[in-house]
Structure formats: C-alpha cells, structure tokens
Amino acid sequence: MAGLRTGQGILRRKPIETIEEAEETEAHGEHLTRTLGLWQLTAIGVGGIIGAGIFSLAGTIANGVAGPAVLVSFLIAGVASAAAAFSYAEFAGLIPRAGSAYTYGYAVLGEIGGWFIGWDLLLEYTAIVAVVAIGISGYINFLLGEMNAELPAWMLGAPGTGTGHRVDLFAALLCLLIAWLLNMGMKSAARFETVVVGLKILVVLLVVVVGFFHVKSSNYTPFFPFGVSGAFTGAATVFFAVFGYDAMSTAAEESKDAQRHMPKAILYSLAISMVLYVLACLVLTGMQNYKDIDKASGFSTAFKSVGLEGIADVIAVGAIIGILTVMFTFMLGVTRVWFAMSRDGLLPKWFAKTHPTRHVPTRVTWIVGVASAAIAGLVPIGEAAELTNIGILLAFAVVCTAVIVLRYRRPDLPRSFRCPWVPVVPGIGVAASIWLITYLAWQTWLRFAVWFVVGLVVYFAYSYKHSELRHADARGIPQD
C-alpha cells in the first residue's frame, strides 16, 4: 500500500482549471507583473532564436561537421522545431503560466514528469546562455584583432582553446551583464530586447543582401562533404538555435493577454527566424569554402576575405549586440522555470522571492548569472553546445506527447489555439526529437545521466515532501 500511495503521489497532476487561481495566491503572494504585448513577446522569441545559430554555430558546423549542408542541418532542426512549436502554442494558450514545458508536464503527466522537465531545463537553459556568451566573445576578439589590440592570452578563451588560455573573461562578464539587466524589471528589459532585436534583424539582412553578390556556386560543391550523416549530426547540435520560443513561453505570466498573444508570438518568431537562417546559411557557405570558414566569427571573416573589411566590422558589432538578446531570452527562461518550481514547493521557497517593486525573481537571476558565467569562462564552445541539447529535445518530446494525451483525456477544455492534425504533427515532433537525440555524443548522454540522477535524489529528498500539491492532498483539497 505504501508503494501505491507513493506512486499516486509522484503522479499527481495540477488541475488545469485551477492553475491560474492557485498560482496567484500561493508562495506568500509572490507574483510577476503583466507588461508584455504581442510584439514584445515576438521580439523575445526572435531574440532567442536568431543569434548564436547564425553568428557562431553556423560557422562551427559548416567548417567541421556538415559543410555547405549546414543549411540542411538547420532545415531538419527547423522541421522538428515547427512540429513542437504548434504543440507549445496550444499549451501556451491553454495554460498561460510561468514555467512553460515544466508547467505543461506537471498538469498532464504528473509531478515527477514535470519535475524532470524543469530540472533538465535548469541545466540546458543555463548552458545555452554560456554557449551564446562564448560566441559573442569570439566576435569581440575579432574586433580587437582588427584594432591591433593586444590582450593577455589568459583572458581570451577557456582552457584548451588556445595557447595560454585560462578563462574566457568577456563571455563570463556578459553573463553577469544580462543578469543585471533582467533584475532591472521586465518592462525596462523588454524595451531593450525589442530595440536590439530590431537592430539584429537589420544586420542579418545586411549580411544576406551584400553577401549575395559575392556568392560563388563552386563553394557549394561538394554539398555533403561529411556525408548525409554530417547534416543530421549538425542538426542535433544546432537544434537549440531554433527553439527560442520555448524560453519565451516561460514568460507567459508576464504577458498582458497570454491566451491570445502567446500562440501567435511562438509561431511568428519561428517563421521569421527560419527564413533568415536559410538565407544566411546560403550566403555564408557561398562566400567561402567550408574549410576556410572561421569557427569563431564566420561572417566577419567571410566578408573580410572578399575585401569588405568595413562590413565585417559592422557584422561583428551587430553580432555582439544581437547575440545578447539570445542570452536575455534563455536567462529569462531559466529564471522563470526556477521561479515556478520553487513556488510549487519542488525547490525551496526562498528562490521564489521576488523584488518588492520590480516583481522579478532577483535571487535566482543572480545565481543563474554566476553559474552561466562559470561555464562560459571555463568550458570550450563545442562541449558547452552539446550539453544544451539532450534535455531540450526530451522536453520537446514530452510536450508533444502531452498535447496528444490531453486531447484525448480532456477534449472539452477551451483552447485559444489548436495544434493542427493531432496526433500527426505532435507525433512528428516526438519522432524528430528522439531521432536527433541519437546523433549526440556519448559524453552528452553521460552528463545528462549524471544530472538526471542528481535530480532524482533532490526530488525524493526534498521536492516530494515539500510539494504544494502534497500539502493540498493532506488538507483534503480535491485534485485532478
């Protein structure tokens, strides 16, 4: 009987109809302020999607993994992401609360399922912030080289990335900068994000338009220098660069009209970003042979190679400014997931404390800022990028599965957006996510397994006992 009760406990689900009412009153009144409109949400989504994928990982994958087929890598990742985006859009309209995939999983698959999604996202999102910071650092180093500035080698990269490198100081400082910005309040931070995203789109369009006139068709041959498998391996690595809408959806509780705006913002941001990704990849691999593309600052060095040093410098500056928005989106995501888990009692309530006037979770924001700074400063970009993907892919698979389950379990629920062709579209999302997972390195699996075991220990040692739903059960409050 004890085992049965435990099983019922870890599978208890949040009642969807009462999520909004419950979350507004629990955790001693801790709440977030609704300040974001449709286009601010879309800007946060585009800010999370476009950045590292174009300005850093595109060059890395083209040079050593996929060649010109990096375009195919992005398309494969984009198809998988689109299938998941429809699923996220349905849930965002149905459950417009902080936490995104964590909250969706909690409501449909039960507490243990929601816990592991949230636990995974804490690591994955933090690592993404670090990867993006490393990408910006590469462009900063490019600009310094253009100005013939000489800096100590110890501060220019993580150990093992170059002679004398000890820490990527620029990357670490950027993580702390974003943490400071998020702590200034969502209204001010969102204004900054919207303006910078606009500048970033202009830079990408500049790359596409100017670069088009320097494309050589011979650079596309061979198109698959590493085989078709190289394109799939590249897709698994760049996948995190095409799902910023997931992190954006964690801000649902800060949207003025989440049920209407969140689904639209998710789909708009992915559509805009994929068009720009495809065009940018065509230009990058057309301007230079894939063997000559610089892994750290691909577009800047590509334009410099054709005599456009001025454009190269503009791109480097645009990359630095633009990639900051990716850091913003994913640090926003991890802090809101952490906030939601703490408010639910699965992590200490101390983390759910918000600023008395700005209403942002300052404590977890600074913790994430310091943690991401440590990863960015000390881990090479390739290893950090692989660390970001497995948990995200699993979260996508879970969310797509949850859409199918909830359609059959609760077809009566009012949905402001409905994922088309259920179960086919979410089924594609599940299959694609699991398929891409198989292309990740065994080291990635090992790191994920360690994090999974740690999460298991934390859940049964703390979260199971302190869960708000468990306390509600003890008080005799009926649950779903």
Residue 47 lies in a domain: yes
Rounded Cα distance between 97 and 89, Å, is 13
Q: Which of 334, 268, 345 is nearest to 50 (CA)?
A: 268
Residue 83 has pLDDT above 90, yes or no: no
pLDDT tens figures, 397-437: 889 999 999 999 888 888 888 999 999 999 998 988 888 78
Residue 326 lies in a domain: yes
Residue 5 lies in a domain: no
Q: Structure tokens of 121? A: 């996202």
Residues in Cβ contact with 39 at an 8 Å cutoff, skipping those fewer than 6 apart: 194
Residue 63 lies in a domain: yes
C-alpha gyration radius of the chain: 22
- Its pTM stands at 0.82
Q: Which of 248, 241, 242 is nearest to 98 (CA)?
A: 248
Residue 29 lies in a domain: no
CATH number of the domain where residue 131 is located = 1.20.1740.10
> Is there a contact between 324 and 178 (Cβ–Cβ < 8 Å)?
yes
Residue 4 identity (one-letter amino acid): L
Q: Which of 102, 321, 369 is nearest to 195 (CA)?
A: 321
- Identify the bridge partners of residue 427 per DSSP, sorted by sequence position: none
Q: Structure tokens of 363? A: 């404590």
Angle between helices 309-343 and 111-146 (to 10 degrees): 160
| SS3 of 18-46 | HHHHHHHHCHHHCCCCCCECHHHHHHHHH
Rounded Cα distance between 205 and 209, Å, is 6
Rounded Cα distance between 346 and 271, Å, is 35
Angle between helices 309-343 and 169-182 (to 10 degrees): 50
Q: Structure tokens of 140? A: 């900063």
Angle between helices 101-108 and 389-409 (to 10 degrees): 40
pLDDT tens figures, 14-35: 777 666 554 444 444 566 778 8
What is the arithmetic mean of pLDDT over 286-292? 91
Q: Which of 419, 264, 340, 263 is nearest to 103 (CA)?
A: 340
Residue 261 lies in a domain: yes
How many structural domains compose the chain? 1
What is the arithmetic mean of pLDDT over 133-138? 77
Q: Which domain holds residue 330?
A: 36-474
Q: Structure tokens of 58? A: 């595109």
30 vs 334: which has the higher pLDDT: 334
Residue 14 lies in a domain: no
Residue 156 has pLDDT above 50, yes or no: yes
Query: Where residue 460 falls among pLDDT bands split at 50, 70, 90?
Result: very high
Q: Structure tokens of 181? A: 């910005």
Evaluate the CA torsion angle 51, 53, 57, 58 in order and state its sign: negative
Residue 63 sits at φ, ψ, to 5 deg, of -70, -45
Assign residue 468 a region (left: φ > 0; alpha: ψ between -120 and 50; beta: otherwise): alpha
Average pLDDT value over all residues in the chain: 83
* Residue 480, helix vs strand vs coil: coil
What is the arithmetic mean of pLDDT over 292-298? 79
Q: Which of 324, 318, 315, 268 is nearest to 287 (CA)?
A: 315
Q: Structure tokens of 404? A: 């199918």
Rounded Cα distance between 30 and 353, Å, is 6
User: What does the chain come to in residues?
Assistant: 480
Query: Where residue 2 falls among pLDDT bands split at 50, 70, 90?
Result: very low
68 vs 30: which has the higher pLDDT: 68
| CA 41 to each of CA 89, 112, 255, 274: distance values in angstroms, whole numbers, following the listed order | 13, 29, 8, 17
Residue 338 lies in a domain: yes
Rounded Cα distance between 250 and 339, Å, is 10
Task: Write down the residue that tokens 């209407």 correspond to.
Answer: 260
Query: Where residue 72 falls among pLDDT bands split at 50, 70, 90?
Result: very high
